[in-house]
């Protein structure tokens, strides 16, 4: 039986989406009978500790490519942030194995033999990997009686401090006093909001790494997020979403979501953002349109499609 190495990576800079979605794909590959050895790379030891819940499912955890050494496998699958791909590409060339790369935008040379890229317009989003818990949450979602009026999830380390600003708006503006709002802090998010984790301030409940994240995100009238994994999850769930890109790369990624009218580009002005979310709450027809468009844009089968690419590439049938 052929053996593959699967490498993913995460950090406050790179976010955690690659690590999380890879677990779903790895599970599918193993259920199909593939012999696969998995490695999670997190450069910082403190961040590795913060991510322990997410990466314990990997066979090995390392802080550098040097730690991995020589790969004894028939091929390699990689899913890492674009800013890490230049360094990784040099390492892959040394390994001299065929590689299937997810979301890969660096040089492909003669070693990257297949790719499944998400940044290529609406068509590319067919490769969006949706975790099983979100697929289950979709089937149980109630649009008529959502548990929250808004749920905000900003990935990575929230480097632009969007959560801080959103928290201030929701707790200081009288428009939101009677609302039920959740702010989700990921493992990489530090700062002033950390002291509120597990508590409520006026309309806002601050939660850190809740176990039922999929249920929370599915049971809201409106989602608020950046241009990453959570945006794809909100979209698949059919949750109308206000999106705040954190980088130029994310600005490009969110374009098909905006163009296909399943998300709204968030205003960085307090009055503008307030007007946006109030409009979404009031306009049921608009929410329905955004929801239906989202379900058309992303489905639950992205991981299966990528698995097929991997099996075909390495002739595993």
pLDDT digits (tens, 9 = 90+) for 196-233: 888 899 999 999 989 999 999 999 999 999 999 999 99
Query: What's the mean pLDDT in 74-82?
Result: 95
- Give DSSP secondary structure letters for 269-298: SHHHHHHHHHHHHH-HHHHHHHHHHHHHH-
Q: What percent of the chain has pLDDT over 70?
A: 98
Q: What tens digit of pLDDT does each residue of 240-258 get?
A: 999 999 888 899 999 999 9
Q: What is the pLDDT of residue 188?
A: 76
Tell me the three state secondary structure of residue 265: strand
Q: What tens digit of pLDDT does each residue of 115-157 get?
A: 999 888 899 999 999 999 999 999 887 666 789 999 999 877 6
Q: What is the pLDDT of residue 144?
A: 62
Query: What's the mean pLDDT in 274-296?
Result: 96
- Please choose, from the candidates 144, 221, 156, the residue with its C-alpha nearest in 3D space to the C-alpha of residue 184: 156
Q: What tens digit of pLDDT does each residue of 23-48 get?
A: 999 999 999 889 999 999 999 999 99
Q: What is the pLDDT of residue 316?
A: 64
- Give backbone dihedrals phi and psi of 62, rounded to 5 degrees, phi first: -135, 165
What's the pTM? Answer: 0.91
Q: What is the pLDDT of residue 165?
A: 92
Domains, the chain, in order of start with CATH, read: 3-129+301-313 (3.40.50.2000), 133-297 (3.40.50.2000)
- Give DSSP secondary structure letters for 181-222: EEEEE-TT--SGGGGGTT-EETTEEEEES-TTHHHHHHSEEE
Alpha carbon distance 164, 174 (integer Å): 18
């Amino acid at each position: 039986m052929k053996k593959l190495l699967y490498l993913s990576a995460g950090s406050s800079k790179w976010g955690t989406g690659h690590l999380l979605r890879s677990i779903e794909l790895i599970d599918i590959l193993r259920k199909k009978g593939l012999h696969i050895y998995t490695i999670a790379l997190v450069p910082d030891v403190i961040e590795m500790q913060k991510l322990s819940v997410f990466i314990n499912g990997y066979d090995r955890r390392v802080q550098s490519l040097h730690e991995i050494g020589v790969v004894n496998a028939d091929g390699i699958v990689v899913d890492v942030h674009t800013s890490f791909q230049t360094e990784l590409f040099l390492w892959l060339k040394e390994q001299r194995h065929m590689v299937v790369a997810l979301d890969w935008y660096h040089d492909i040379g003669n070693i990257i033999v297949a790719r499944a890229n998400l940044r290529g317009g609406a068509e590319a989003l067919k490769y969006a990997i949706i975790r099983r818990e979100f697929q289950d949450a979709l089937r149980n979602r109630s649009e008529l009686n959502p548990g929250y009026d808004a749920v905000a999830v900003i990935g990575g380390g929230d480097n632009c401090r969007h959560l801080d600003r959103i928290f201030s708006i929701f707790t200081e503006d009288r428009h939101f006093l009677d609302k039920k709002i959740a702010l989700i802090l990921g493992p990489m998010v530090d700062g002033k909001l950390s002291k509120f984790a597990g508590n409520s301030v006026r309309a806002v409940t601050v939660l850190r790494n809740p176990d039922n994240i999929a249920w929370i995100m599915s049971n809201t009238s409106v989602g608020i997020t950046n241009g990453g994994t959570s945006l794809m999850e909100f979209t698949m769930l059919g949750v109308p979403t206000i999106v705040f890109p954190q980088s130029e790369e994310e600005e490009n990624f969110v374009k098909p979501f905006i163009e296909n009218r399943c998300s709204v580009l968030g205003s960085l002005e307090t009055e503008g953002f307030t007007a946006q979310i109030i409009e979404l709450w009031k306009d049921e027809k608009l929410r329905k349109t955004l929801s239906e468009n989202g379900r058309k844009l992303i489905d639950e089968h992205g991981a299966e499609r990528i698995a097929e690419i991997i099996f075909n590439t390495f002739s595993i049938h």
